[in-house]
Chain A
Amino acid sequence: MSVTDLLPNLQKLSRADKFLVMQFLLVDLSKEEGVENLLEPFQNGAVYPVWSPYDSHQAAHQLMQLLEEDSIKAG
């Protein structure tokens, strides 16, 4: 695929996806150049997923109840 084909498709991407593409290219280029410090510590606009459901107290309570029922069933 040529750049001419690629650019219109890139323009259709969402803002978040454009950042992802930019991040991919930065890492790829830095690898080719052997430049490590481009990656450290964070890149402006990069996406860093945090999966922790950190304040799911109700969920935690429900799971503890489920465990209690499980232990009662197990006798």
Chain B
Amino acid sequence: MLDAKKFAFVRQEDRYGVVDRVPYLPLRLIHKESVLEVSGLLDTGSSVNVLPYDLGVQLGVIWENQTTEIVLSGNLALLKARGLVLSAKVSDFEIVRLAFAWTLSNEVPLILGRSNFFCEFDVCFYASQASFDIRQIGKSRK
């Protein structure tokens, strides 16, 4: 991929000690003056980006001020969520605006899904090499 950055899958151990390699992307979330270094799970199966509650709080966002109620499905169907737009910086790509379903739960990972992370970035997975390439989609190609 032209202009792409390569990242390795992250080695992760679950609570039973089973090891897996997972495509987590390091990124910086920005809200007003607050900046947070996080890792997001690249999940092409997810319709939306999902933000765990504590990360929003650490960025200084107030739950009551977010008025767009979002209904999620799957394992997250019982969780309350509200829409939240944040700035995000990946590697040395340009800053983008990402819309998240900000949930009241901390049991979920930060998920980067089709709306709208995969509208902003192309990603190519190489599972056999436990790595992925990522490239920002230019405005002309959206």
Contacts and interface: CB of A to CB of B under 8 A. Distances in A.
Given A39-B18, A59-B48, A59-B70, A67 B108 contact: no
A57 B85 CA distance: 18
Contact of B48 (A23, A27, A56): A56
A38 to B, nearest CB: 10
B40 interface: no
A70 B97 contact: yes
Nearest to B50: A53
A18 to B, nearest CB: 15
B43 interface: yes
Contact of B99 (A49, A52, A55, A63): A63
Contact of A59 (B18, B75, B81): B81
A54 B77 CA distance: 11
A17 interface: no
Interface residues of A, number: 26
Contacts of A64: 99, 115-116
B116 to A, nearest CB: 6
A12 B76 CA distance: 26
Interface of B: 15-18, 41, 43, 45-50, 68, 70-77, 81, 83, 85, 97, 99-101, 108-109, 111, 113-116
7 contacts: A31-B17, A51-B75, A52-B46, A53-B111, A56-B47, A56-B70, A60-B114
Given A56-B70, A66-B68, 7 more contacts: A49-B75, A53-B47, A56-B48, A59-B101, A64-B99, A64-B116, A70-B85
